[in-house]
């Protein structure tokens, strides 16, 4: 007669035997493909360190394969490719990748939306832009992971710019929204693949670029083909982001999601000091471009035009109006705070 003790022991042995005989199910390594807007060697600074760090820490759990500008899809198709799942994640601004959202116009360089690079994380984390971006991208199946600041937007040109009149007819590579704004001053915005810009300046197809600050001009080679750098800028910092396909994001374990956020935040921090220090150092010690400036009184008309431009954008939709109101509130607060937040 089977005793209770023998029954339990027998059941345990049977279970053990089943476990031993069952084939082990190996946990497969998660693999993502992330494409950045940046080419070589800019990507070595703006994204590669973060991806390398993530892969090192994630180990056998997950690997992000990094692809540079236009390697898998053209930059203007980045959003669609990510939305469809052709690629898993993207580093870009909203404007360049033609996001079909209400906030796309604010990506990249929103004219005079910021004066310093620290303005961007404060706008997102303390003034409410983060929640708006998350909501807008969730509507179209994309996870907005984080936002950060890059460099300010300056003109680097073959001929000197000393007045607004000098901008007339200049064929310039710039962002869609920046180009839309600058057109009123005679600038002719030109859209070309990022990697073709240096040659286009050399051949005369372009008169210059309004895409970056001086650090990037030196890093990517544009300082080798332009002669002048305008110290006036139309924005204090580029607004860029990390995004992911929502389904792919939801499949990732929580610990890896958090690791991704930490590594991307480290990337944002790296750019804060790399660009900030680089902009000053190259103005003082750089030898490749001569600095020029438009007088403050004349440049003030450009700033005034930006505020009119803001109102035009705000009139386009309720969401855009909400974002513009945040920019207005933030900049008003900074002005009231005075030095060192604003000097005028």
To which residue do tokens 């990390």 refer? 242
272 falls within a domain: yes
Q: Which residues contact 164 (CB under 8 A, 6 or more apart)?
A: 185, 294, 298, 301, 302
* 70 shares a domain with 41: yes
User: pLDDT-based confidence at 89, cuts 50/70/90?
Assistant: very high
C-alpha–C-alpha distance, residues 136 and 149, integer Å: 20
263 falls within a domain: yes
* 180 shares a domain with 68: no
Count the alpha carbons within 13 Å of 31 in the hemisphere toward its beta carbon.
4
DSSP string, 236-291: S--EEEEEEEHHHHHHS-HHHHHHHHHHHHHHHHHHHHHHHHHHHHHHHH--SSEE
Q: How far is residue 31 CA from its own chain's centroid? A: 22
pLDDT recorded at residue 343 = 82
* 276 shares a domain with 312: no
* 37 shares a domain with 118: yes
Share of the chain above pLDDT 90, in %: 90
pLDDT at 15 over 70: no
Q: Give the domain extent around 278.
A: 30-149+238-282
Q: Domain tally for the chain?
A: 2
343 falls within a domain: no
Q: What is the pLDDT of residues 31-75, one digit of tens each?
A: 999 999 999 899 999 999 999 999 999 999 999 999 999 999 999
pLDDT at 4 over 60: no
68 falls within a domain: yes
pLDDT recorded at residue 328 = 98
* 267 shares a domain with 139: yes
* 327 shares a domain with 278: no
17 falls within a domain: no
pLDDT at 236 over 70: yes
C-alpha–C-alpha distance, residues 303 and 56, integer Å: 45
C-alpha–C-alpha distance, residues 89 and 103, integer Å: 19
Indicate which CATH number applies to the domain containing 173: 3.40.190.170
Most confident of 3-7, 16-20, 85-89: 85-89
3 falls within a domain: no
pLDDT at 222 over 90: yes
Closest by Cα among 159, 220, 228, 167 to 194: 220
pLDDT at 109 over 80: yes
* 183 shares a domain with 64: no
| 3-class secondary-structure state, position 31 | strand
Residues facing residue 63 across a β-bridge: 31
Structure token digits, residue 40:
């070589």
Structure token digits, residue 310:
């803001």
To which residue do tokens 């005989």 refer? 21
Number of residues that this document lists for the chain? 344
Residues facing residue 153 across a β-bridge: 235
* 259 shares a domain with 136: yes
DSSP string, 329-343: HHHHHHHHH-TTT--
**Mean of the per-residue pLDDT values of the chain:** 93
244 falls within a domain: yes
* 182 shares a domain with 85: no
Residues facing residue 212 across a β-bridge: 154
C-alpha–C-alpha distance, residues 331 and 87, integer Å: 37
Structure token digits, residue 138:
């969730």
Structure token digits, residue 316:
């386009």
C-alpha–C-alpha distance, residues 42 and 335, integer Å: 33
242/192: higher pLDDT: 242
* 143 shares a domain with 195: no
332 falls within a domain: yes
Closest by Cα among 52, 82, 71 to 242: 82
pLDDT-wise least confident of 87-91, 190-194, 334-338: 190-194
Quick one: residue 343, left, alpha or beta (phi over 0 = left, psi -120 to 50 = alpha)?
A: alpha
Closest by Cα among 152, 156, 167 to 197: 156
* 184 shares a domain with 260: no
Q: What is the pLDDT of residues 276-334, one digit of tens each?
A: 999 999 999 999 999 999 999 999 999 999 999 999 999 999 999 999 999 999 999 99
* 203 shares a domain with 76: no
């Amino acid at each position: 007669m089977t005793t209770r003790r023998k029954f339990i022991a027998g059941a345990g042995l049977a279970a053990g035997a089943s476990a031993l005989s069952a084939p082990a199910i190996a946990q497969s390594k998660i693999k993502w493909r992330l494409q950045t807007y940046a080419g070589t060697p800019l990507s070595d600074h703006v994204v590669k360190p973060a991806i390398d760090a993530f892969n090192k820490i994630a180990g056998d759990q997950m690997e992000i394969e990094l692809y540079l500008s236009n390697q898998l899809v053209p930059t203007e198709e980045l959003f669609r490719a990510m939305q469809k799942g052709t690629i898993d994640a993207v580093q870009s601004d909203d404007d360049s990748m033609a996001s079909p959202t209400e906030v796309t116009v604010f990506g990249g360089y929103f004219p005079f939306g910021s004066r310093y690079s620290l303005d961007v994380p404060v706008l997102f984390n303390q003034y409410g832009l983060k929640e708006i971006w998350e909501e807008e991208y969730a509507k179209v199946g994309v996870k907005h992971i984080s936002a950060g600041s890059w460099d300010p937007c300056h003109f680097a040109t073959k001929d000197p710019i000393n007045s607004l009149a000098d901008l007339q007819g200049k064929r310039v590579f710039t962002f869609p929204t920046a180009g839309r704004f600058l057109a009123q001053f005679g600038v002719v915005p030109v859209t070309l693949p990022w990697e073709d810009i240096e040659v286009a300046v050399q051949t005369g197809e372009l008169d210059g670029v309004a895409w970056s600050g001086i650090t990037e001009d030196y890093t990517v080679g544009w300082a080798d083909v332009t002669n002048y750098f305008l110290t006036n800028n139309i924005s204090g910092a580029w607004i860029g982001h990390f995004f992911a396909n929502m389904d792919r994001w939801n499949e990732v374990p929580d610990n890896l999601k958090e690791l991704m956020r930490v590594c991307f935040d480290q990337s944002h921090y790296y750019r804060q000091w790399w660009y900030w220090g680089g902009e000053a150092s190259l103005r003082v010690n750089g030898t490749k471009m001569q600095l020029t400036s438009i007088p403050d009184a004349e440049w003030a008309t450009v700033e005034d035009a930006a505020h009119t431009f803001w109102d035009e954008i705000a009139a386009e939709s309720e969401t855009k109006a909400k974002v513009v109101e945040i920019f207005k509130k933030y900049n008003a607060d900074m002005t009231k705070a005075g030095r060192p937040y604003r000097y005028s």
